[in-house]
Amino acid sequence: MGIFISKKLRYFIAIMEKRSFASASEELCITRSPLSKAITEIEEYLDDKLFVRKHNDLIPTPLALEYYKKCKPLYEELLKLEKIKNLKLYTVIFDSCFPLTFVKFLRDFIEVPGFEFRVEHTIITPEHLLSLKNENKIFISLKNIVDVPDENKSIWPTGGLTLLSPFISKNNNLFVCKEIHINSLKNRFSKTLENYLYSINFIEHNHDPSTLIYKVKSGEGHGLFSSKLAQFYNLNGIKKRQ
């Protein structure tokens, strides 16, 4: 999180301003679990509640409002200090073609000693590339960005896709991530998978990889993983086709 700002403080500020775990986790590009854990630990330390849970909303208690009022000015000053002093701060920007759930999953594993990383998820445009000369930014996209000079660009082979299916398939449901480009991808998936699935019923979702694997194993449908990502999971009980 940085030298001067702790994770708990950053999480607390984000939740106070977004008033929900879902919105705060999206802004921070992390899953909801560490947010909920951080708030619980702060509440245990203070021996009092910071938020009242109401459906998907978080309503701050007077205690939370009091601490936010005291912490926010300090937080902003520390943030300015980190931007000035932390010369090894990098922003990793994933293109919107990556599912947000996958970006959140990766966020927990991007660690390099001596470097600080912040993760963003957006539609990468040519305008974004103009900032490459002046800021420590890394853009990651599945698209070939032609305007980037070769010395600033690395192209990695993807290794293809792996279709995950239950051993006994009872439907043609295919889980696909809920993303802005998914409609154009559905046509490509239908043609690519026509030898395996007919009249595909696309089910849009925001599941993390582990939940998706469980749903496939339980027979609720089929899923698509990159072949490299599939290597990191225990896929016993699942049929794999590349």
Q: Is there a domain that residue 119 lies in?
A: yes
Q: Is there a domain that residue 165 lies in?
A: yes
* C-alpha distance across the termini of the chain, in Å: 38
CATH number of the CATH domain containing 171 = 3.40.190.10
pLDDT of residue 36: 87
pLDDT of residue 50: 92
Does the predicted model carry a pTM greater than 0.85?
Answer: no
On whether both 66 and 113 belong to a single domain, the answer is no
- Percent of the chain's residues with pLDDT above 90: 9
On whether both 53 and 121 belong to a single domain, the answer is no
Domain boundary among 152, 174, 201: 152
- Contact assessment for residue 170 and residue 220, using Cβ atoms and an 8 Å cutoff: no
Residue 118 sits in which domain range?
A: 89-152
Q: How many domains are there within the chain?
A: 3
On whether both 42 and 108 belong to a single domain, the answer is no
Regions in the chain scoring below 70 on pLDDT: 1-4, 83-88, 97, 111-115, 130-134, 143-159, 179-181
On whether both 143 and 171 belong to a single domain, the answer is no
Q: Is there a domain that residue 2 lies in?
A: no
Task: Compute the half-sphere exposure of residue 199: CA atoms within 13 Å on the CB side of its CA.
Answer: 1
Domain boundary among 152, 178, 202: 152
On whether both 105 and 79 belong to a single domain, the answer is no
Find where tokens 């496939």 sit. Answer: 216
pLDDT of residue 175: 86
Q: Is there a domain that residue 1 lies in?
A: no
Determine the residue type at 172: N
pLDDT of residue 69: 92
Q: Is 25 helix (H, G, I), strand (E, B) or coil?
A: helix
On whether both 214 and 236 belong to a single domain, the answer is yes
The answer for residues whose C-beta is within 8 angstroms of residue 200's C-beta and 6 or more apart is: 172, 173, 174, 186, 189, 190, 193
Helical axes 21-28 vs 100-107, angle rounded to 10°:
70
